[in-house]
Amino acid sequence: MKSAVTDIMPLQVRRSLTKFGADLSIARRKRRLSVAMMCERLGVSKSTWQRMEKGDPTVSMGAYVQALFVLGFGTPLAELIDQRNDEQGLLLEVEHLPKRIAPPRQKKKQ
């Protein structure tokens, strides 16, 4: 059964998830970890792990992050969109800066 998520997902995103799943599979096998070992370490079922290796977008992000951690990739999401490295966000911020700044108004004394 197809998910509504898959229906609206851009092709590039679907392809990147499929590649990510295949990369998880390769990383697991390089480390000589069985599917059962991965499932135990992640706390997921065999069918969930199989979906992850296919890049299923309906599997929770937490499961994917945990898999990366178990495979020794650390916590890559912690720095993925760090605000200090968000060049697009910084550019948008600069575009919205005021052209002029007026001094604060003085309150009238009564």
Q: Which domains does the chain have, with CATH numbers?
A: 4-95 (1.10.260.40)
pTM attached to this predicted model: 0.74
Instruction: Write out pLDDT tens, residues 40-95.
Output: 999 999 999 999 999 999 999 999 999 999 999 998 888 888 888 888 888 888 88
Q: Is the pLDDT of residue 15 over 80?
A: yes
Mean pLDDT of 86-108: 82
In 3D space, the residue among 46, 55, 49, 44 whose CA is nearest the CA of residue 20 turns out to be 55
In 3D space, the residue among 62, 40, 32, 64 whose CA is nearest the CA of residue 51 turns out to be 64
**Cα–Cα distance for residue pair 35/47, rounded to 1 Å:** 10
**Cα–Cα distance for residue pair 64/29, rounded to 1 Å:** 16
What DSSP assignment string belongs to 73-86?
A: ---THHHHT-GGG-
